[in-house]
Amino acid sequence: MQTNSLKFLTFATLIPMAIAMSAQQPQLPKPEETEVWSPVPAVVTPGATNTAPPSDAIVLFDGKNLDEWVSAQDHTPAQWVVADGIMTVKKAKGVGNIETKRKFKNYQLHVEWKVPENITGSGQARGNSGVFLASTGPGDDGYELQVLDSYNNKTYVNGQAASIYKQSAPLVNANRKPGEWETYDVVWTAPVFNEDGSVKTPAYVTVLFNGVLVQNHFELKGQTLYIGKPFYKRYDSAPIKLQAHGDQSEPISFRNVWVRELP
């Protein structure tokens, strides 16, 4: 009888304790508490193919003209050759690099390029060009994504195709054969500067080369210099530049160039 009474008392004591503990337990959050309904993302219609510009892209070259481009040296009309839906470097005195009329900060860029099938030369003298992701002035090197025929062509790895020139070799060599079109898809995050010109946040770049990830959110150390150590120089926004390199191989061609500005 005493044993049963003890059991009853113990049970009677545990019930209010369990109720008290239950009351102290935090309530589980509801799914609705972590649902975000606004602002609603803008509707963007994808291109008909993975390489065609989406509906919110700025088309920089559609195969018709160079209306979006000027000479990088003096901002006169661009003089590269446009034929059969492509533009080709014009290696003539006084022509040189071209750059966009518009300036950009953060963006997604699509560029297709090709070295001729009969390309000659070796190393850096074999189809050399470049996509300058921020052309900060005629006297500055800017930030170069290298263009080169790196299909069975040995050179320093931080200067081969898809390198961030002299700073970052590509993760892999995804080059196609000469005469075939190559594709760069780039996400560029521009550097941000403090009022005194010091770097607040550095530049970052992600690059897919023919659909293969070759630069994975790489942090740039500054401008991509041919000689010396990279450094940052303050700028706010800048054109995108295409290079007319001085090597003696056949000139590079470009097509289907478009950009999407990012917030």
123-150 per-position pLDDT tens digit: 998 989 999 999 987 777 799 999 999 9
- Cα–Cα distance, 5 to 190 (Å, whole number): 78
Q: Which of 245, 239, 205 is nearest to 221 (CA)?
A: 205
| Shared-domain flag, residues 117 and 201 | yes
Q: How confident is the model at residue 249 (pLDDT cuts 50, 70, 90)?
A: confident
| Shared-domain flag, residues 246 and 176 | yes
Q: What is the pLDDT of residue 18?
A: 58
In a domain, 39, yes or no: no
Q: How confident is the model at residue 8 (pLDDT cuts 50, 70, 90)?
A: very low
Q: Which of 77, 118, 119 is nearest to 95 (CA)?
A: 77
| Shared-domain flag, residues 72 and 189 | yes
**Above 60 in pLDDT, residue 9?**
no
Q: What is the pTM of this model?
A: 0.87
In a domain, 157, yes or no: yes
Query: β-pairing, 199-201 with 129-134?
Result: unpaired
Whether 113 contacts 129, CB under 8 Å: yes
Q: How confident is the model at residue 246 (pLDDT cuts 50, 70, 90)?
A: confident
The CA distances from residue 118 to 21, 177, 184, 197, in Å, are: 81, 11, 22, 46
User: Which residue range forms the structural domain that includes residue 10?
Assistant: 2-34
| Shared-domain flag, residues 27 and 99 | no
User: Of residues 255 and 245, which shows the higher confidence score?
Assistant: 255
Q: What is the mean pLDDT of the segment spanning 20-28? A: 70
CATH of the domain at 106: 2.60.120.560
| Shared-domain flag, residues 26 and 83 | no
Q: What is the mean pLDDT of the segment spanning 230-240? A: 95
Domain count, the chain: 2
| Shared-domain flag, residues 238 and 199 | yes
| Shared-domain flag, residues 128 and 66 | yes
DSSP 14: H
Q: What is the mean pLDDT of the segment spanning 49-66? A: 95
In a domain, 115, yes or no: yes
**Above 50 in pLDDT, residue 106?**
yes
**Above 60 in pLDDT, residue 11?**
no
- Cα–Cα distance, 221 to 199 (Å, whole number): 10
| Shared-domain flag, residues 132 and 254 | yes
* pLDDT tens digits along 181-224: 999 999 999 999 999 999 999 999 999 999 999 999 999 999 99
First to last CA, the chain: 79
> What does pLDDT average to over the chain?
90
| Shared-domain flag, residues 157 and 94 | yes
In a domain, 151, yes or no: yes
In a domain, 108, yes or no: yes
| Shared-domain flag, residues 140 and 76 | yes
Q: What is the pLDDT of residue 14?
A: 56
User: Of residues 85 and 29, which shows the higher confidence score?
Assistant: 85
In a domain, 24, yes or no: yes
Q: What is the pLDDT of residue 13?
A: 61
